[in-house]
Amino acid sequence: MDQSNRNSFLIKSEAKRLGFDYVGISKADFLEEEAPRLESWLNKNMHGQMSYMQNHFDKRLDPRILVPGAKSVVSLLLNYYPSQKQVDDTAPKISKYAYGNDYHDVIKDKLNQILQFIKDTIGDVDGRVFVDSAPVLDKAWAKKSGLGWIGKNSNLINKQSGSFFFIAELISDLELEADGPIKDYCGTCTKCIDACPTEAIVAPQIVDGSRCISYFTIELKDAIPLDVKGKFDNWMFGCDVCQDVCPWNRFSKPHHEPQFNPANGLLEITKKEWLELTEETFKKVFKDSAVKRTKYNGLTRNIKFVTTS
C-alpha cells in the first residue's frame, strides 16, 4: 500500500470511529460541470434573498482558491434520521435535521478531531474543515467522491441509506487516493417533483430556492408571500417532503448520535402550545438548536402563517 493509500485508509478509519457513516475522497480541482449550472441558477435569481450565494463564485468552484495548496477533498456524511416523530399530528412541523443540537457545532467538533488526528499521525498538514458554513459545493464534492448521486430534488442520495445526511468536508494539502463517482439511480421516478407543495423543483436537479418552503421558513426575513398561503403542508421550520417521498429513503435507519436526539421535550409540544409559544420557552427549547436561526419572531411568523386561514 503506497503512502496516499495508507493515509486515505487512516483518515477514513478515524472518521468512522468518530461516528461518520460514509467517507469519500476526491482530488481538489476545478468543478467544471458545476460552473455553468451555478451561474445559470444565480442568473435566474433562484437564490432569492440568499445574497451570500453570489459571493465567492470562484472559491465555490475551486477549493485551491479557498485553501491554498489544496490537493484533496475528504467528504463525510453523518446520518440524522430520527427514531421518533412529533407526537401531535396536527402540530406545525419541524424538519428532522433540527430535532437535536445544532449540527454545525456537533460536526465541526468531530472534523477538528480528524484534522488533529491527521497532524498527530501523518504529519504537518495544512487543512480546513467545513460544514455548511463556507463557499463549498458540498453535494458536488460528495457526488464526486462516490458517496451518492444527486437526486431530482437536488439532494445527495446514498444507495445504502437514502438522503437524511449532513455533508461536511475536510480540504487539505495532503495527497490522498481519490474515489470515483457512482451512477445515478433515480431512473424515471419523479415522486419528489410531483410532491413538492410549492412546485419549487422546476426541473430534475434544479430547485428554485426562492420557492422552497425551507427558504420561506428559514432564510426569508420579510413577510411570506400570500401566493404560497395554504401550500406549506403545515411546515413551520424547513421541509422534508421531497425526502419523505423518495423511495431510496425506505433504507433510512435511525442515527446513532446522542447530540441529535430531540431536545427539551420538543416532539411533545402540542399545536396549542406552539400557538402560545413565548420567547422564554423558545430560548429554552432551542438553546442549542439550529432553529435559533429563525429567531423567535421568525418562528412565530411561520406558526401563524401555517395555522391561520
Is residue 212 classed as helix, strand or coil in its secondary structure? coil
Find the farthest-apart pair of alpha carbons in the chain and give their distance in angstroms, rounded.
65
Q: Which of 126, 132, 233, 288 is catalytic?
A: 132
Rounded CA separation 126/114 (Å): 13
Beta strand 22-27 pairing with 127-130? unpaired
The secondary structure element, H or E, covering residue 188 is: none
Q: How many CB atoms lie within 10 A of CB 279?
A: 11
Candidates 176, 129, 162, 127; CA nearest to 24 is: 176
Q: Where are the alpha helices (DSSP H) in the chain?
A: 3-17, 34-43, 57-61, 63-66, 103-121, 138-144, 191-195, 213-214, 241-244, 271-275, 279-285, 295-307
**Residue type (1 letter), 96:** K
Burial class of residue 97, CB neighbours in 10 A (0-12, 13-18, 19+): buried
Catalytic residue list contains 132: yes
Rounded CA separation 19/253 (Å): 14
Active site members: 132
